[in-house]
Chains A and B, each alone.
Chain A
Amino acid sequence: EVQLVETGGGLIQPGGSLRLSCAASGFTVSSNYMSWVRQAPGKGLEWVSVIYSGGSTYYADSVKGRFTISRDNSKNTLYLQMNSLRAEDTAVYYCALRHGYWGQGTLVTVSS
């Protein structure tokens, strides 16, 4: 059974950094493309980043240069390193396997 569990969210001051984790089970992270999608409070869904099985990575313009997607094959875990955080990055962050399986999300709040 596919399971995705995100952790690492919390309250962080503007300019700070956080690393989100997405622990996967039931499949191999490195053999699939995985994405991060976020949802600001009361808003719609916004694609953030993707990592393909071959290792290529892509980012939304809104996070390019600040966020880094990566994976640890030995831990079967996906990450999102978020630097220089802004108030507009406040959202629930979901990891997703291809397009069909999503985690429960982790809330990131950027505020002073």
Chain B
Amino acid sequence: DIVMTQTPLSLSVTPGQPASISCKSSQSLLHSDGKTYLYWYLQKPGQSPQLLIYEVSNRFSGVPDRFSGSGSGTDFTLKISRVEAEDVGVYYCMQSIQLPHTFGQGTKLEIK
């Protein structure tokens, strides 16, 4: 199975400041079709996970442009340019290049 490793596991951010989460996979997520199957989710308290970013850097419908994704191969990053109070929750990366699909451990973001 592909292991997804997120760092940090928690972070506390002042509103208006940037935040960054790293996700590393144990194998390359680059498929022969040219796409890289790396996703980012946010699970707000008491809610279902919501997709933020698909295929490394594409924002899902309705996702604010303060969220951005980057990376390639095995190293990926989610960045929030200016954290807002509504961004609190747990962030997960996930790979779907290989079954079983696997998630990172999650990164809990709180507001200072």
Contact = CB atoms under 8 A, between A and B. Distances in A.
A105 B48 contact: yes
A106 B17 CA distance: 36
Interface size class of A (residues with CB under 8 A): 10 to 19
Interface stretch (B24-32, B65-73, B77-85, B99-107): B99-107
Contacts of A45: 41, 43, 49, 92, 94, 103, 106
A101 B48 CA distance: 10
B97 interface: no
Q: Is the interface of B mostly helix, strand, loop or mixed?
A: strand
Contact of A47 (B48, B60, B102): B102
Nearest to A94: B48
Contacts of B3: none
Contacts of A102: 48-50
Given A35-B101, A58-B99, A99-B54, A44 B49 contact: no
A100 interface: yes
A44 B103 contact: yes
B7 interface: no
Contacts of A35: 101
B39 interface: yes
A46 B51 contact: no
B96 interface: yes
Contacts of A11: none
Nearest to B96: A99
A47 B92 CA distance: 13
Interface string B32-59: 0000000101010000111100100000
A99 B48 contact: no
B49 to A, nearest CB: 6
Given A35-B101, A61-B100, A99-B94, 16 more contacts: A44-B92, A44-B103, A44-B104, A44-B105, A44-B106, A45-B49, A45-B94, A47-B102, A47-B103, A50-B99, A60-B100, A99-B54, A99-B96, A100-B51, A103-B48, A105-B48
23 contacts: A44-B92, A44-B105, A44-B106, A45-B43, A45-B49, A45-B92, A45-B106, A46-B103, A47-B100, A47-B101, A47-B102, A47-B103, A58-B100, A60-B100, A61-B100, A94-B48, A99-B51, A99-B54, A100-B51, A100-B60, A102-B49, A102-B50, A104-B48
